[in-house]
Structure 1
Amino acid sequence: MDAAGDVQDFVLGLPELHGQHSSNNISAVVARTLTNFGVDKASVGYFVLDNAYNNDTAVNHLAGIYGFDASERRLRCCCHILNLGAQLIIWGKDRDAYENAGGSLKDEEAFMKEWRQYGPIGVLFDIIASICKPVVLRELIRPVKTRWNSYFAAFARAVEL
């Protein structure tokens, strides 16, 4: 909180994590960052992370170092939860059935044929392809399962086109 009693958020750093994203590596980098900024046991706040198990154990490691209850200080990222919920609505329970195999396709026609098999996303791509001019400065964005918000980016580009 600041002097006026208003809650303040600060990003202390975005250090590169070398090696595996294990709980030990994550907690070591976070502890080092907190130490560099003079954050002590009394000043440690809350940790907002996605739902990965290694994040749970990383906060448990930090709780041991800084003496707090991990279950009280470990928060789930609301945006990540909403993103997962939206993907569940779009793809259903069997997300693997819609695996992105576009990377191995040779040309755009084959790509579009492949996407027609992918339910609502395929229909959206077909509509866009049918109304686009032959020369388009912007291309469709292909959603990739492992890229954060790639489905949102694909929909946003669809609206632009």
Structure 2
Amino acid sequence: MAEEDIRNHRTRCFGHILNLAARAFLWGEDPDSFEREAFTEAAFQVEERELRLWRKRGAVGKLHNIVRFVRASPQRRELMKSLACDQNDEDGYQLFEEERAAIDLELMQNNETRWNSTFLMIQRAIRKREHIDHFIAYLETKTSEPRQRVPVQDQLSPQDWLLLAEIQSLLKPLHEITMRCQGWAKEGRHGA
């Protein structure tokens, strides 16, 4: 086998190893069984069982449920954005460009099959933490219908937010290395 072929082969294996490590970190010993179970619950649209399944995953699962709740309705997405604008206007100070940009960002939903999507969901949520907390508090005080609020079991505590920040900091190097391992095919190679 040519030296270049060996190097390309190792690069692909390295990316695969990173993927397996990140999935095991997020989903435990048997990430495939969790993915199958989550997919089955979603396919059969057994909402409450799916929510409970995700809650078992701790802070990441609660965040998944919150993002799903917000993204399930265009009205909720718009309300969250509106509340974020109002919240920052009430603060009475000039926003930095990055803070202003965070208002327009939507929450990102992860999927069961890609750990990178979970990392990106956490990263975006941390950036929008104040907006998420404000949205949940607003619904708690303004909505009498329980189905129109984020369930109490899914609300993130300060400890949950700290854990999400730690998870983000642990996954960030894996995400960056994974992005570096990706390639774009040149001269008939497969991008490795």
Name the TM-score class by shorter chain. Answer: 0.3 to 0.5
Higher RCO (C-alpha under 8 Å, 6+ residues apart)? 2
> Where is the helix percentage greater, Structure 1 or Structure 2?
2
Q: Which has the larger radius of gyration?
A: 1
TM-score normalised to structure 1 length: 0.39
